[in-house]
Amino acid sequence: MKPYSKLQEQRLGTDAAPQGAAPQGARKVRGSALLTALVAHGLGAWLVLSLVACSGSEGVSRFRLQYEDWYRTHPPATTPPSGSDLALLERHRPIYWLGEESDLPIRFYEDYIAHGTFFDGDGKVIAENPSPELLNLHARDPQVLFLHRPERSTAPSEPAVYGRVRRDSGVLFGTERRFVFLTYTLVFARSGLLAGLSWWQEWSARTFADANDWHQLDHYINVTLALDEEALERGETIPLAVEFQHHNYTRTWRLGGAKGTADDGYLAWPASGRLEVDIALRSNEAYPHIGNEPQRHPAASFLSEKVVAWFIGGGDRPTWSMTGWDHTAPSRRLDPPLIALAPADAFYTFRGRLGAKRLLPGRSGPPGADYNTLAAFKAPLTSMLISYWRPGLYGWQETVPQTLQAGWQGQDFSLDPFRSFFESDWHSRPLRGSVNAKR
C-alpha cells in the first residue's frame, strides 16, 4: 500500500461514491476483528495511523490545511525542467529491474487517464477518457474522482519514468549549503500488498479482496538523488545520498558501500552515474539493486515504535501488524525514457481521487504524487535527513517517533539529531575520491 492511502480514505470518505465507481465483486466486510486483521498497521503506530484515529472532521481539515499552506508558501512551477536541469535528470536516470511476472510500468496520461471515467463530487460524469488539459482544469477540486478502466485490448505505451528537480538549502557539515534533488517516479496501474505476508494476512487479503490489486494507481515509486549544488558547479556529480520511498515511509542510504552490496545503509555509486533499482513483486516498491539473485527486504505498511525497533535491530518483527517482506526477483532490465512534467501538473498536485473508491480502508485511489508524506516533511532536505537510518542506529529509533508526531500536530521540531546521525556516519565512512570526503 502506498503513502497515506488510509488517510486519503478518511480524507475523502465522506463523499458519495459515484455510480459505477465501486469495483465489481466488492463485498462488505462485517466484524471489527476481521477488519482489524485485514487492515491492521501496528498497534500504537504514530504518524499515519495516529492521524486516522482522529475524528473525521479534524483529520480531514488538518491534512488539507497543511497541504494548502504548503502550496501557498511553495507554489509549484508551471513549466517543466529544461536546460541543465533536464540534462541532469537524463544523466542520472535510473535503470530498473523487474520480476518475470511483474506488471510493467505505464504512462500516466496515455495508459491510465486516457482509459476511464471522470466524475464530479455529485457522481455526475464530467468526461469519458479525459484529456490532460481537462484533468488539470479540475486538479484543485478535492471532490472529483477518476475511475480507471483497464482495457486489455489496448497495447500499452513504452514505459517511462517521470523526473522532477527540486532545490533546498540548509546547514550540513557545519556550513550553509545548497542542494539539488532529482526525483524519479515510476507509475503502475495498480498496487498490491507485500509479497511476504504472514499466512493469515495473505489468506484474509485473498479471501475478501485482491492482494494483487489492492488499489488503483501506484505513482509513489520514488527514488531521489541528493546532490551538493556547489559540487555540481565544479563538475562533480556524485550524490550525497539516495532516498527510496517504501510504502508509507522513506529511507535514505548514503554512499560508500562496496560494489554489489547494500550493507548497513551504505550504497555503492556506479561509475555510469545511473543507479540500478529493483522493483518489488506485487507491491512495486523500489529497492537498491544488489545483484540478480532474489532478495527480501523487511517492510511494513506503516511505521510504529515496534516496527522501527525491528528495522534497527533492537526488537522482533511485530507479527500482529501489517509487516513482512518485500520480495524482489530481478530478471527483466528496464531502461525507461524520461518524461519531465511541470511540478504544478495534475500528476503531482491533483487533490481528488485518481482511482476507484473501494470499501475497505486503504483500497481507494490516491491523490497526486505530491501527497507522499505529511506537508511538514515535504522540504527535500528535511525528508532526506529524517529518513536516514541503518541497522544499529538506535538514536534514530528513540528520536523519530516524537518528531513525526510533532510534524502532524503542526509543532516545531529540530533536525539537529538527524543531521548529527548523518554527519557522524559520513565522517566515519567518507566517499573516497569525492570532494565530499574532504569535509
DSSP codes of every residue in 316-379: ---TTSSEEEEEE---EEE-PPEE---TTSHHHH--SBSS---SSTT-SPP--TT-SS-GGG-S
Among 99-113, 220-234, 418-432, the least confident range:
418-432
Question: What's the half-sphere exposure (Cβ side, CA atoms, 13 Å) at 197?
Answer: 27
Among 20-34, 110-124, 337-351, the least confident range:
20-34
Which residue type sits at 336?
A: P
Q: Are the CB atoms for 387 and 226 separated by under 8 Å?
A: no
Residue 59, C-alpha cell as written in the block: 483529520
Sign for the CA dihedral angle at 413, 419, 420, 421 comes to positive
| pLDDT value of position 202 | 84
Cross-strand partners of 176: 171
CA distance 85 to 233: 12
Question: What's the half-sphere exposure (Cβ side, CA atoms, 13 Å) at 12?
Answer: 31
| pLDDT value of position 306 | 87
Q: Tens digits of per-residue pLDDT, 16-54?
A: 333 333 333 333 333 333 333 333 333 233 333 333 333
Give the predicted TM-score (pTM) of the model: 0.85
**Cα 407 to chain center, whole Å?**
18
* Domains in the chain: boundaries: 5-438
| pLDDT value of position 438 | 34
Give start and end residues of each alpha helix (H) in 112-261.
Answer: 132-137, 199-208, 229-233
Task: Out of 51-65, 71-85, 259-273, 399-413, give the one with best mean pLDDT.
Answer: 71-85
CA distance 96 to 86: 20
DSSP string, 61-75: HHHHHHHHHHHHHSP
Task: Out of 152-161, 207-216, 270-279, give the one with best mean pLDDT.
Answer: 270-279
| Average pLDDT, integer, range 7-23 | 35
| pLDDT value of position 431 | 56
Higher pLDDT, 202 or 45: 202
